[in-house]
Structure 1
Amino acid sequence: MRLSLGIAASLLALTASGATLDHRQSSNDTDYKVGFTPLKTQWTDTVGTNPWPEFPRPRLQRSAWKNLNGVWRYRNTDNTALSNPPFGQRLESPVLVPSCLESALSGVTGKNRTYSWYQTSFDIPSSWPSENKAILNFGAVDYEATVFVNGKNAGFHRGGYFEFSVDTTPYLKAGGANELLIHVYDPTDLGDIQIPIGKQTLNRGGMIWYTPCSGIWQTVFLESTPTEYIAKLDLVADMNGQVNVTVHSSTNSSSSYEITIHEQNSEDTKATATGSSGAPFTFKVDSPRLWTPTEPNLYNITIKFGSDTVQSYTGFRTISRGVINGIQRPLLNGDFIFPFGVLDQGFWPDGIYTPPSVEAMRYDLQVLKRYGFNALRKHIKVEPALFYRACDEIGLLVIQDMPSLRPDLPDPNNQCGSIRLNPAAQPEFDRQLGLLIEQLKNYPSIFAWTIYNEEWGQGTSAPWPEFRLTDYVRSLDPTRLINAVSGWTDHTAGDFDDNHHYSTPQCGTPFWSKQGPGADSAYDARRIGLQGEFGGIGQYVDFEHSWYKDLDHQTSYELTNSTWAWNYRCQDLMRQLREQVELFSCSGGVWTQTTDVEGEVNGMMTYDRAIIRMNETMWKEETTKLYEAAARRANESSIAVRGMGLEGVQYGMP
């Protein structure tokens, strides 16, 4: 693993200057305690009451900020609550922010958190210029948040996975404490509601649905900004050294700014340029070291915009696709790269959606890297920004899924069947898909976007929405590949032909299985062959390391009764995938999955991260063989199938 020391140092400095919580919150700490969980991690009891002190937004950093994480007050309420906010009251229960209300770390811990009140107070540091604005930032609140400051409605946001900000300046008191009250509504999959929720559920059974996450589950912080400041930064740098940047002003003005690219581990200047806010601007950096999974080179950035100064970073790389020896391939910096990753669901037994700490979150990624993986598929969830920074630094390609709609919306006219999409849900899905792209498109590690997973919320009649949405995503971000449909019903939109098959792979092959209700078919040679999900080999877990304390609730696509047998089966499937690279048109794979999740026991690690099932020597050898097979195939002059009595027969040709 290679770290960007310059980035790490700047973030540590920001942590030191901004991590102190408002002292008024200390009186809230005395009655907080971690709630019940069937399973802890090694980090559960070390979280304390000052969680996630790091500066949470690494692509747009300011020095004057204040972390509001810690123990707040909480009240479970009902659908009439917004008409009578509890201003000036001390709410009954403690809650640890940020953490899902259903989680042990929240201290609330329980079900049916559909309507909630959060309460805290904050002071504005005396060191902040009095003429500056005080911007309140939220990493994510699931699902709708209404923000009150000193009894005034200051803002509203909908979407459980996305950042948003509120300008508190008009509502602040001249001095002293300011009351912050937040109303949260999160229906998840209540009744016939269909919103982006990924794998959260209130009541569904089965092994692939998990405990939901409600409320404030990512960092809350204040920052001091000038009256006119950088509200958003779009920046991508390619393999030729071209930097494309748009600085968005809070006032939508056209004002000049200076941007400086620094060497990775020093303040030495690599390039400096001047642009105008609100308009795309391009400049060149000579001979940059490129970003790849094996050499994740990053560069620090400083932008000065009037009296506003922000820090950022980037990596120089180009993602594309092309035909190599007759086969469509994903390309990184012009070369075929075989992304081989793990389905990464991002659930935790103590925090549900919220990892206990940055250290815990990075642990998963470092394990994957150590055992030979160069990628992951972030599965129908959006992580905190520091997750993507870690992937940038460690060198992991990210296939980022859009959080899916529920796939089983009941049909009131057909009690024997179900429908997959309420037409009224489509516009909101589309809007939040746009939020996803805009929020994450600057991270170098993100390799591809996934719009739909296995028909979940996918339209069931023409015109198929994935064609329109592929064009939409491409308009927002022309620099990534797009996986329009991962698994099952595929109408040929997007850059990938993505097959899901448990346990054995069927990657870029002339054979397939009709797994699920969709119209699967043989590999479509016009697109990149991807094994979007396979593996799923499970192992019964000792109750000490299991979410459920009985074997009936431990399940997977296939089960083994020992770690040796688990590795043997995994090695067998890895060999099959490698043969599909050698014989057919396989260009990437995603193994299920990073960790066990609740009753699903098919992880590379147990749910508590205490046991790594992988034999390190075997997995390193097999992933290396996989990458080597892909490299050999890319360099062959012919794609004739050899060694199986099939000489002269060609597969995967356009």
Structure 2
Amino acid sequence: MCSASLGRAVLPLLALAGLTAAATPYAPQPPPLSTDWTEDVGTHPWPEYPRPQLQRSQWQTLNGVWEYRNAESAAALAVPPFGESLDTEVLVPSCLESGLSGLQAQNTIYSWLSTHFSVPDDWQDQRVLLNFGAVDYEATVFINGERAAFNRGGYFEFTVDATDFVNFGDDNELLVFVYDPTDGEDAVIPIGKQTLNQRHIFYTPCSGIWQSVWLESAPKEYITKLDLTADMNGEVTVIVHSASGNGDSVEVKVENGDETIASHTANADEHFTFTVDDVKLWSPDSPNLYNITVTLGDDEIRSYTGFRTISKGTVDGIVRPLVNGEFRFLFGTLDQGFWPDGIYTPPTREAMVYDLQLLKDLGFNMVRKHIKVENALFYRACDELGLFVIQDMPSLPLVEPNADQQAEFARQLEVLVNQLKSHPSIMSWVIYNEGWGQILSTNPEFDLTDRIRELDPTRLVNSVTGWYDHGAGDYSDNHHYANPQCGTPFYSSLSSPYDPERIGIQGEFGGIGHNVSIENLWNVQAAIDTIDETYELDATLEVWNYRSRTLLTELRDQISRFACSAAIWTQTTDVEGEVNGLMTYDRRLKRVDEQQWKDDIESLYRAARGRGETPDERVSDRGVLRY
């Protein structure tokens, strides 16, 4: 018997022999603040199929109660605890620092997580694919005592071909070693707003397996990735990536309900296009989606798309963002994606969609996903609701990276674009936020912008949002609190003056705060002590709404008078010590006077319509549309 087979045989026997003490049973810990969904999580979280744009029929979730052990140091990786019961049970997916994890731990830099699973006997002639939505930050995966995979990058999905490691119809041990330094150990990695030392606008970190884990079966020749976009003229652009890379024949069908309205046969692993007639376009007003079926040999996957075109062009002498060939004013919120009970992991899909539905109901047509990447169901919800997404790259800490750290940042930026570029709701990519991790001596944003355009020529790029703008990208972006300075002839000392060769956007403004009682606050004294650092604090909700109307009126005037084309209000919800959300952190208190906000947002769109909607007779410099 080979050593690998011996390991597979011995591991279950060790577990059955009870050679290690049983793990402490799972129980959620009371977080500093709960939500209305905290009690709904249970021990079978996120049961939905996690990847809606490449969906297979045969799958099983591995979400649920796993086991956890603090690994203390990197040296632990050399001695994996095969066949052992770990110290305590933990919920997956979850952030180890969250109450829902059952740990509410701190400084979880090195961790072991384990579970056991079975593979159906009737999968034996198939490939067994083990999928992770996201593990923060590095994951080393062992299956039945053998090292099966390694992944670096805390925001991105990865797949392990587990076929050669599993026992069919029997018990299998899955063991994951996680290394997540966040901003400790002199690490300079993409972390967004996470920090080991929480302070006002920097929050509790997220370590571990924080997005779904699932198994699925696929034929020996299977689809690994689907890149698919569809434009306003009905042209569908596709690359079907295959496991073998042999360029075998694939068929793509476009479906409207149960009816196939177009089909096309081509080769896998090659770029191809075809046209669908008489399509209904996707936009915030009418988010029409079409189902897609892709077949490669015996492999069939389900997906979807929306037909729309994003570009820029000149309208009445001003460079504007164009949606399906027309100027559309874009207004959204800064959306941090933090939760008091789950940190980075929303408690349920319903909770996650609640935030987006509130924005849609108020009249917002866009959301800026702020230096975080969400699970695929978030983007599916934006696709379905009709909310554009301006997607940030998770930022580095507030230090300048060295050459290796910058190269890793650039690699993960490419992963971000490739992972999300088939979602119709995403309309722009953001590289740098307020100079965090930006190398000012060499201006790498120019090369990074060019690279994004190579990977995805169908969207706009906001190379630098807020500060240190050297002229790269499609936007001239300003951050200013609380008042807007959007495409105006006046600007603050940190932001650059408006550049009329690019789109004028107010990348952040607002941020006005209103303190609430402890029932709606993140009950951590260090966070409460920073509430006074809020840009502006308003004594009552009436005053907060009065000030909101004042700022939105200023924005409307800048739309009417100057070159403002898009704006982002800070923010969707409170987060820890920040109290400037449309809602409190627990989502139980809405600050907004809803009718007032609906009226004020509609007035922004009216002002934009008054500035003209038809592009001038010219060629768009994005090379997408001709006018």
TM-score range, shorter chain: over 0.9
What is the DSSP-based 3-state SS (H/G/I as helix, E as strand, rest coil) of the residue aligned with 1:89?
coil
| 3-state DSSP of counterpart to 2:580 | coil
Aligned-partner Cα distance in 2 for 1:486–1:355: 26
Shift in Å, 1:594: 0.3
| C-alpha distance in 2 between matches for 1:188 and 1:501 | 28
Aligned-residue offset at 1:549: 6.2
Contact 2:241 2:268 in 1 (8 A): yes
Tell me the residue number matched to 2:63: 69
Scaled by the length of structure 1, what TM-score is found? 0.89
Partner of 2:452: 473
Residue 405, structure 1, aligned to residue 396, structure 2: yes
2:65 and 2:554 map into 1 onto residues whose CA distance is 51
In structure 2, which of residues 93, 102, 121 is the aligned counterpart of residue 98 of structure 1? 93
Corresponding residue number in structure 2 for 1:252: 245
Contact kept? 2:22, 2:87, Cα under 8 Å: no
SS in 1 for 2:353: helix
SS of 1:505's partner is coil
Secondary structure of 2:226's partner? strand
Give yes or no for contact 1:536–1:593 (8 Å, CA) kept in 2: yes
Deviation, structure 1 residue 196 = 0.2
CA contact (8 A) 2:22 2:86 kept: no
2:113 aligned residue (118, 124, 134): 118
Q: For residues 198-277 of structure 1, what are the structure 2 equivalents within 5 Å?
A: 198-205=192-199, 207-263=200-256, 266-277=257-268
CA distance in 2, matches of 1:571, 1:306: 58
- Show CA shifts across 1:359-384 (max 9, x none): 00000000000011000100000000
Q: What's the counterpart of residue 531 of structure 2?
A: 554
Q: Structure 2 CA distance, aligned partners of 1:358 and 1:364?
A: 10
What is the match of residue 500 of structure 1? 479
Question: 1:87 maps to which residue?
Answer: 82
Query: Does the CA contact (< 8 Å) of 2:23 and 2:67 recur in 1?
Result: no
Alignment of 1:226-625 (within 5 A): 226-263=219-256, 266-407=257-398, 409=399, 420-462=400-442, 464-515=443-494, 520-548=495-523, 552-555=529-532, 556-625=534-603
Inter-partner Cα distance in structure 2 for 1:569 and 1:228 = 60
Flag the 1:204–1:35 CA change in 2: closer, same or farther, 3 A: closer
Q: Which amino acid aligns with 1:185?
A: Y
C-alpha separation between the residues in 1 aligned to 2:530 and 2:317? 47
Q: C-alpha displacement at 1:595, in angstroms? A: 0.2
Amino acid at match of 1:240: N
1:554 deviates by 2.2
> What letter corresponds to residue 103 of structure 2 in structure 1?
V
Deviation at 1:254, TM superposition (A): 1.1
Size of the alignment, in residue pairs? 593
- Three-state SS of the structure 2 residue aligned to 1:474 is helix
Asked if structure 2 preserves the Cα contact closer than 8 Å seen for 1:29 and 1:49, the reply is no
1:439 Cα offset (Å): 0.2
- Secondary structure of the residue aligned to 2:341 is coil
User: What is the deviation of 1:635?
Assistant: 5.2
Q: Does 1:108 align with 2:109?
A: no
Q: Which amino acid aligns with 1:92?
A: D
Partner deviation per Cα, 1:140-198 (whole Å, 9 max, x = no partner):
00000000000000000000000001011111124410100000000000032100000
**Runs of 5+ in structure 2 lacking a partner?**
1-15, 617-627
- Offset of residue 425 of structure 1: 1.1
Residues in 2 aligned to 1:95 and 1:373: alpha-carbon distance in whole angstroms: 37
Asked if 2 retains the 8 angstrom alpha-carbon contact of 1:449 and 1:483, the reply is: yes
SS at match of 2:82: coil
TM-score by length of structure 2 reads 0.93
Q: Residue 424 of structure 1 aligns to a residue in which SS? A: helix
CA apart distance, 1:626: 0.2
Equivalents in 1 of 2:152, 2:446: separation in Å? Answer: 25
| Matches of 2:169 and 2:131, distance apart in 1 | 21
Supply the distance in 2 between the matched residues of 1:627 and 1:140 (Cα, whole angstroms).
Answer: 37
Contact 2:326 2:614 in 1 (8 A): no
Quick one: which of 618, 622, 630 aligns to 2:608? 630
1:41 equivalent in alignment to 2:32: no
How do residues 174-189 of structure 1 correspond to structure 2 at under 5 angstroms? 174-189=168-183
Which amino acid in structure 1 is aligned with residue 424 of structure 2?
Answer: P
Equivalent residues of 2:489, 2:497 under 8 A apart: yes
Offset from partner CA, 1:384-431 (integer Å, 9 cap, x none): 000000000000000000000001x3xxxxxxxxxx333331000000
Question: Is the CA contact 1:28–1:71 (under 8 Å) kept in the aligned structure 2?
Answer: no
State the Cα deviation string for residues 512-563 of structure 1 (Å, max 9, x = none): 1113xxxx33210000000000000100011000003665332411101111
Separation in 1 of the partners of 2:521 and 2:374?
A: 24
Question: What displacement does 1:249 show?
Answer: 0.6
Provide the C-alpha distance between the structure 2 equivalents of 1:191 and 1:97, rounded to a whole number of angstroms: 26
Checking the alignment, whether the CA contact within 8 Å between 2:119 and 2:168 is kept in structure 1 is no
Partner Cα distance (1:28, 1:282) in 2:
56
Please give the alpha-carbon distance, in whole angstroms, between the structure 1 residues aligned to 2:247 and 2:137: 34
Q: Report SS of the residue matched to 1:633.
A: coil
Q: Is the 8 A contact 2:23 2:88 kept in 1?
A: no
- Give the conservation status (yes or no) of the 8 Å contact 2:326–2:613: no
Letter in 1 for 2:447: R
* Counterpart residue type for residue 509 of structure 2: F
Residue-by-residue CA offset, 1:201-259 (whole Å, 9 max, x unaligned) = 00153x11000000000000000000010000000000000000110111111111111
Mapped contact 2:360–2:385 kept (Cα < 8 A): yes
Find the counterpart in structure 2 of residue 141 from structure 1: 135
For 1:48 and 1:29, how far apart are their aligned partners in 2?
Answer: 18
Q: Secondary structure at the match of 1:386?
A: helix
Amino acid at match of 2:230: A
- Which amino acid letter does the alignment assign opposite residue 575 of structure 2? V
Aligned to 1:416: none
How far 1:287 moved relative to its partner?
A: 1.0
Query: Do the aligned partners of 1:402 and 1:449 also contact (CA within 8 Å) in 2?
Result: yes
CA contact (8 A) 1:505 1:534 kept: yes
Distance, in Å, in 2 between the alignment partners of 1:72 and 1:521 is 50
